[in-house]
Amino acid sequence: MRRLLFVVCALSALLAPGRAFATTPPTGDGEGAAATTTTIDNSFLDTKRELSQCLNNSIDLPDCGIEPKQAGDRGGALQGVTFGLLTLGIVVISWRVVRSIKARDAAVGSRAN
């Protein structure tokens, strides 16, 4: 068991990607590098609350995030359909288990008489 654990640890250490080291940004003395601006187009940052209030919560607070625009978005109609199908599946499985238990008890009861 120890050898297997050692092999798994060694393989994960060998196959792990190397660290990416950040380089210093170019200096502003005009050495052929043009200044670039970066904009972040992230729909998850479009909140009605202050972003610091929305971070580090295990449950999303109201007004943190965006309204679903498509059925497949988080909080959209397909999420409700998925919940309904899972609930229906659990109900069907439970019904089948109860039905088979009753059938087994009836069979055991008829043999005992």
| DSSP letter assigned to residue 16 | S
Tell me how far apart the alpha carbons of residues 44 and 39 are, in angstroms, rounded to a whole number: 14
State residue 47's pLDDT score: 67
Say yes or no to pLDDT of 71 above 70. Answer: yes
Question: Quick one: pLDDT at residue 34?
Answer: 57
The pLDDT assigned to 26 comes to 57
Distances (CA, A) of 50 to 1, 47, 66, 74: 51, 7, 13, 20
Q: Which residues contact 76 (CB under 8 A, 6 or more apart)?
A: 68, 70
pLDDT tens-digit map of 11-65: 676 666 655 555 666 565 655 555 566 665 665 566 677 777 777 777 877 877 7
- pTM value is 0.47
